[in-house]
Every structure is written in C-alpha cells, then in structure tokens.
Amino acid sequence: MEQFKKILDSVFEWVLKLAMVLLLAMVVIVFFNVVLRYGFKSGIHWSEEISLVIVIWFTFIAMALGVKENLHINVNILPRKLPRKFFLVLDVAKDLLEILIGCIIFYYGWKLTVNGARSFLPATHISNAVNYLVLPISGVFIVAYAIVYLYADCKQFKRGATK
C-alpha cells in the first residue's frame, strides 16, 4: 500500500502543479481583461469563459486535495472519553462515504463529459467536455485516497486501537 500511495502522491503532485498554473493563468487573464476594459474600452471576449473553466477545474482538484490531506470539516461533538475504537469505526464510515461520493462523482462526471463533447463553448468553440473532464479525474483521486485511509484505519483497528 505504501508503494501505491507513493505513486498516487507523485501523480497528484502533477495535478496540483496543473492547478497552480491554471490559477496563475486565470489571474493574468482576468487582470488583463480588466485593464483592457477600463483602460482601453475593449476586452478579451473569451476571458470569462476560460476563467469559469479554470475555476471549475481548480474547485474539483481542491476537493481531491481535501480528501488527500483530510482537510474537510470534522465535527467533534462526542466526548473524547469514549473508546478509540468508536472513533475508528466513525473514521471507517467516513472513508466508505468518501469512496461512495468519489464513485458518484466519477460515474456522473464521465456521463457529463461524454454528453458535453457534443456541444461547444460559445466564445472559444472548445468542446464543452472540458468543463466536465475534471469530475472523473477528481473522482479517481478521491476514491484512491479514501481507500488509502480506509486501509490504514482497518489496519489500526485490527491491531487494536489504543488511546
């Protein structure tokens, strides 16, 4: 499992670099569009469309990053005096839910991508599939990282959870 996680991390590192480049590109495009619009009374006609695509990609890559780093919101309302095994069971349930959500994102994201390939964005004439292609990609990463956490939680549960 360690080898799998290393490979997964290295591939996801490239996806994160792509997200950083996309975010930088969006900032540059929006900046130049604002300068052109207010300074020269013209603008880049495709900037809003491309910015929207970049925001969609960045959002779903960030969602997968949240699963990887376990950054999603946790609510701790139960007293910590309960046994550790109880919290491990909750962690396993969380992992299984993340796997289910990742599978749903992958499945319906793929269907949206295939359907989106039939239409084109109005300003750039790029296939509308580009809006949805990130869904199956992020779904794969969400499922993969949830499986890594599920494996670790089950391993810890088998060893016997201690406080």
What is the C-alpha separation between 122 and 108, in angstroms, rounded?
A: 24
Lowest mean per-residue pLDDT among 30-34, 40-44, 56-60, 83-87: 83-87
What is the C-alpha separation between 20 and 24, in angstroms, rounded?
A: 6
What is the C-alpha separation between 144 and 128, in angstroms, rounded?
A: 27
Query: If pLDDT is split at 50, 70 and 90, which confidence band does 127 have?
Result: very high
pLDDT mean over 108-117 = 96
Prediction pTM value = 0.86
Query: If pLDDT is split at 50, 70 and 90, which confidence band does 158 have?
Result: confident
What is the C-alpha separation between 76 and 87, in angstroms, rounded?
A: 10
